[in-house]
Amino acid sequence: MMLDFSKMILTKVSFDPKLFHKELRKLLLWLGDDKEEVENLYELCSENYGDIYGDIISEEFKDYGYLD
């Protein structure tokens, strides 16, 4: 359910790098310590937006502590 919501939000803002960055950050904060959901979000982002926003995705997930 949470993944569907995340996908909907990111799809709606995927046309704009700044909005995508902002919404990805908010989603990560919203997920908090739910590592399974964070992992699912990372997979979703990498598969669907990695070629366009790979740098933003890497930056946010590193800041979150998911990527080393």
Model confidence pLDDT, tens digit, residues 28-46 = 999 988 999 999 999 999 9
Find the domain containing 31 and state its range: 2-64
pLDDT-derived band of residue 19, with 50, 70 and 90 as boundaries?
A: very high
Give the Cβ contact number of residue 20 at 10 Å. 23
Domains of the chain: total: 1
Question: What is the C-alpha separation between 22 and 20, in angstroms, rounded?
Answer: 6
Question: What is the C-alpha separation between 17 and 37, in angstroms, rounded?
Answer: 23
Question: What is the C-alpha separation between 6 and 60, in angstroms, rounded?
Answer: 15
**pTM recorded for the entire structure:** 0.91
